[in-house]
Amino acid sequence: MADEEGSRPLSGIRGKPAGKEKWLEYEERREALYAFLLILPALIIVFLVIAYPLLYSLWISVNNVDFVRQRWTFVGLKNYLDILPKPEFQMAGVRTVYYTVLSVVGSVGVGLLMALVLNESFKGRNVMRSLVLVPWATSGVVIGIIWRWIYDGETGVLNGVLYALGIIPDYVPWMSEGVRALTLTAVAHIWAAAPGSSLLLLAGLQAIPPSLYNAAKIDGAGAWQRFWRITLPWLRPMLLLAVILSTIGGLMTFDLIYVMTRGGPGSATTVFSWLGYTTTYQFFRFGEGTAILYVLTIACLILAYFYGKLLSREQMY
Amino acid sequence: MAQTVVRKTASAEKEQARLPRLRLEVGEDFGKRAALYAAVALIAFWSLAPFLWLVVLSFSEIVDIVTKPPRFLPIPLKLINYQTLFFPQSGLGGYSKIEQVGKMPSAFVNSAIVAIGVSLLCLVIGSVAAYAYARYQRYFFHRATFFGLIMTRMIPGLTLSIPFFIFYKALGLLDTKLGLIIAYSSFLLPLTIWIMKGYIEGIPISLERAAMVDGCTRLQSLFKVILPVCTPGMIAAGIFVFMAAWNEFYFALILTSTQNAQTMPVVLAGFAVHTGRVTELPTLFAGSVVGSLPPLILALVFQRFIVQGLLVGASKG
């Protein structure tokens, strides 16, 4: 069949034999136009609605914006220079890093464990593969609601269980202490993010040829050795991908903070995203708020660079 | 190492050496199975328990919740919270003072309209674009813009929200479902295109050629031949998009303000944040369960299709 002609333009088949060369040139141009028109609607929506706002918010961040009086004053990097030395900004940075590291290690770790288990054969594996998707299919807001009332000091089930088992003498207000509140919020985040990582890693595990394991077994390699020498090296690109994506997830965390802590107690869980949100929408300091969020954006764009490099190296798209 | 040892031994010795080792392996195997099932149980508990507790809470009365420790199984199940949810004005359910309860039905409808609208829009525009990206990779423009599309996934929505707010205010799109549909489509289209492109690449080009030899135009061969074959890919992409649109919180929070367009996450979050009295809590839990059902059911029923699209969409974001 026509299959062997590989890269030849599709339309060639309908081409007229007479004046072939000129016709092909014309056809090729029509073909390019057609190919361009097909992607045009998508390009318009995506780049108009994403690229333009991205540049626009960069513009806001170098202006002093007064929306009430509709006054814009160009101030250069002043917004950035203003926020950088502020202790609230620096503390938010420390908290963001702490929260992100915790959630990346946790969600990739738990995700890896899940993927390793789900890759084994056991009864009810398909059911399990569905069940681990439950946190993944639940909205961030509902996850926040679930965990807020797990940790609750008066009605929380964590208190209930520990109290019923006699582990704690009385209910503990878990979320009233700063670092503990941030850590426990990160645990909720890990619960939400682990299935995503586990799906990626499971796909990675399934791409490892089983013959490698058989060969290693014949050579007498133990389970531990097989894991370090075969599984991990083969999983490396997927692990990197999971780390990059979960880092962005951790940096961008908002839903959980909004529902569970609202930045509190005090400002103990005020991470960058929350600081940017409150500065912008509660205090209406748009320039500063956007500058804070743009610091996050730059971090994400750096990660995006590695993401893109990884994807093109591994030919994953 | 072990292999060389085995090779050097005489065959009789080998037989002798193998027997005890075999027995050891059986013992090991039993231990391994036990460990595996323990891990499975642990993962099932970790993934399900928090959500199941929300379900238990939604069937509890406030007395069951504030008891110390709470009643872990409130039997008989109390349906009163769901009654309050669906018939807020009914005397039976007890009139709720929180305005969020009254907003719940309209929020559910809004979420459905927005999620379905975004899914349809993304599938139509995205499939056509994905087809062009799959078949015309020889054009540099296509390769470049496709890479650009993938990279937009890494741009944090937080930063985009401020320009969105400003534009929408100017265009009169604030607090409209159409506004949400446009915003969501812009960052879910790349995901759709990515999933669909992978799927279309797996379809032999000879199929289109045959259609065109039979007299189809290019568009006809796309819509009548290619896309019908792509149904599984479209289901996968459609589910990803539906779930992401249903669960999205940040844009909905900023771009909507009334029942006209507020979606489930916004109303639930508003409820969770503004609830002052514990007595309102069970209604919130019932609302959270109802609001989680559509994406949850889709994810569980179509698990198989999700795994197909998993390489691309494993992380929601």
Q: Where are the domains of chain A?
A: 2-61, 80-313
- pLDDT category of residue B202 using cuts at 50, 70 and 90: confident
Region A158-167: what's the mean pLDDT? 89
Cross-chain residue pair B187–A50, CB shorter than 8 Å: yes
Q: Could you tell me what percent of chain A has a pLDDT over 90?
A: 31
| Predicted pLDDT of residue B9 | 42
Its CATH class, for the domain covering A80-313, is mainly alpha
| Predicted pLDDT of residue A77 | 86
| Predicted pLDDT of residue A147 | 96
Task: State yes or no: pLDDT of B21 exceeds 90.
Answer: no
Digit-coded pLDDT (tens) for B154-166: 888 888 888 888 8
| Predicted pLDDT of residue B120 | 95
For residue B230, the number of C-alpha atoms closer than 13 Å in the C-beta half-sphere is 34
Cross-chain residue pair A60–B136, CB shorter than 8 Å: no
| Predicted pLDDT of residue A183 | 96
> Which of A204-208, A225-229, B174-178, B221-225 has the highest mean predicted lDDT (pLDDT)?
B174-178
Region A164-174: what's the mean pLDDT? 88
Q: What average pLDDT is seen over chain A?
A: 86
Contacts of A218 in chain B (CB under 8 A): 3
Task: State yes or no: pLDDT of A100 exceeds 70.
Answer: yes
CATH topology of domain B99-313: MetI-like fold (1.10.3720)
Task: Report the residue of A13, A36, A38, A201 to disrupt the B interface, i.e. the one with the largest count of B CBs within 10 Å.
Answer: A38
Looking at the complex, report in whole angstroms how far the Cα of residue A87 sits from the nearest Cα belonging to chain B: 22
Digit-coded pLDDT (tens) for B268-298: 999 888 876 677 888 889 999 999 999 999 9
Task: State yes or no: pLDDT of A316 exceeds 80.
Answer: no
Q: What is the DSSP string of A251-298?
A: HT--HHIIIIITT-STTTT--HHHHHHIIIIIS--HHHHHHHHHHHHH
| Predicted pLDDT of residue A98 | 96
| Predicted pLDDT of residue B89 | 64
Digit-coded pLDDT (tens) for A16-51: 555 667 777 887 888 888 888 888 988 888 888 888
Digit-coded pLDDT (tens) for A259-298: 999 987 888 999 999 999 999 888 888 888 889 988 888 8
| Predicted pLDDT of residue B97 | 58
Cross-chain residue pair B160–A117, CB shorter than 8 Å: no
Which range (A175-189, B114-128, B155-169) has the least confidence? B155-169
Q: Where are the domains of chain B?
A: 2-58, 99-313
Task: State yes or no: pLDDT of B6 exceeds 60.
Answer: no
Cross-chain residue pair B163–A53, CB shorter than 8 Å: yes
Contacts of B126 in chain A (CB under 8 A): 42
Nearest residue, CB atoms, B162 vs list A131, A290, A296: A290
| Predicted pLDDT of residue B112 | 96
Nearest residue, CB atoms, A34 vs list B39, B218, B246: B218
Who wins on pLDDT, B296 or B138?
B296
- pLDDT category of residue B311 using cuts at 50, 70 and 90: low
